[in-house]
Structure 1
Amino acid sequence: MKKQPLLDYINKHIDLTVEEKAFLTSKVKYRKYLKGQYIVQQGDVCKYECFVISGCTKTFFVDEQGQEHIVMFAIEDWWASDMGSYITQTPADFNVQCIENTEFIMFSYDDIEDLYREIPKLERFFRLIIERAFVASQKRLVRNFSLSAKDRYLYFKNQYPKIEQRIPQYMIASYLGITKEFLSKIKGQLLLE
């Protein structure tokens, strides 16, 4: 199992003993998904919190008109799931779909609870990760309400250059809350500046 990327990531935040690392790796699953496969779909209970080893995912919901709204992307060393569904073990509001062939280390709800009991500092680690995700989500809301579409695009381009190169423009447009045509217009204007 390719567990080293996860251990390296955790090691940036907390120190684990050899025994704790062994227990941790005994509780995780490794899985490969193909481009287009779903980790979770709206209405299903999210069974896993997933650490991305390689690949890329999008988290989105589909409204009543069938329109897709992307709320997040995840690449290497990021986490992917419907966190609300995972934490509450209730039906998911979001879909998480692979937009590249993707490899994950996955934590089931029951296994994460075992890890919290046996290695209390992991509970702190996951609290920090969830806090950061919450803050990022709130800041994104503020940007969406306060910045122009052009400025939202420039922020995305500067903040996530590795993502922009890997995903189709229509997905970036969905994430920004604009049409792909409007994104093309913005990019055209930027080339003239």
Structure 2
Amino acid sequence: MNLISPISDNSWKDILSIFKKTTLEKGDYFAKVGRVENQFGILLDGVLRAYITNGNGSEYTKTLFTPTHFKTPISYVGALTSLVTMSPNQVSIQALTPSEMLTGNYLDWKSLMDHNQEIATWSRKMTELFFIGKELREFEYFTLHADERYKLFRMRYPELENLITQYQIAHFLGITPTQLSRIRKKIFRED
């Protein structure tokens, strides 16, 4: 966390006082559609996905969370819109592998931010990094061909090809598993 913004020992004590260690098994949900979420977390180990389901049941994976999330040195996990607005959640967050997290109540975190400038600064910087990564992912999604997105995926998440299914990777890339299979065959022939 100090890579994002320095935090004093006293602030660390405050932060650690609101967190507890949580274990998720593969398939467990951290956040579910329709619930008003109040928990957020920092992923220590494992892989989670945030996804939405459209009206016909098709899934779209918005984000893959790993301990060092793309563009950020740690992985801050939560259904942010539900946490901030206290409205029913529209995004599911599911463990794709056994996972360990530090989890805490978002209202407790908000109270810490309101009373501690170091924590408020850290949270703002973390949010900025997250949105920079989100904007870059959206730009790439709409401007790059599927094979280019897959190559970036392999570069950014080299460990995931052996940890999650091709189905999950395809949904993250916004393509079908059949399209991913074709792209993989083409790329591996070129290598």
Q: Which residue of 1 aligns with 2:81?
A: 84
Matches within 5 A, 1:73-152: 73-76=64-67, 77-152=74-149
Q: Which residue of 2 aligns with 1:64?
A: 55
Unaligned runs of 5+ in 1: 1-9
Q: 2:5 aligns with which of 10, 14, 28?
A: 14
Q: 1:25 aligns with which of 16, 19, 43?
A: 16
Q: Which residue of 1 aligns with 2:156?
A: 159
How big is each residue's C-alpha offset from its partner over 1:90-119, in whole Å with a ceiling of 9 and x where there is no partner? Answer: 111100011111111112121102211332
Counterpart CA distance in 2 for 1:133 and 1:12 is: 14
**Could you state the TM-score of these two structures normalised by the residue count of structure 1?**
0.90
Counterpart CA distance in 1 for 2:85 and 2:159 is: 32
Percent identity among equivalent residues?
24
Unaligned runs of 5+ in 2: 68-73
C-alpha displacement at 1:185, in angstroms? 0.3
Bigger shift: residues 161-170 or 145-154: 161-170
Counterpart CA distance in 2 for 1:75 and 1:110 is: 24
Q: Which residue of 2 aligns with 1:47?
A: 38
Task: Please give the root-mean-square deviation of Cα atoms over the aligned residues, in Å.
Answer: 1.3
1:38 aligns with 2:29: yes
Q: 2:174 aligns with which of 170, 174, 177?
A: 177
How big is each residue's C-alpha offset from its partner over 1:110-166, in whole Å with a ceiling of 9 and x where there is no partner? Answer: 110221133211111111111111111111111111111111111111122123331
Q: Tell me, yes or no, if the aligned pair for 1:85 and 1:92 is still in contact at 8 Å.
A: yes
Q: Which residue of 2 aligns with 1:3?
A: none
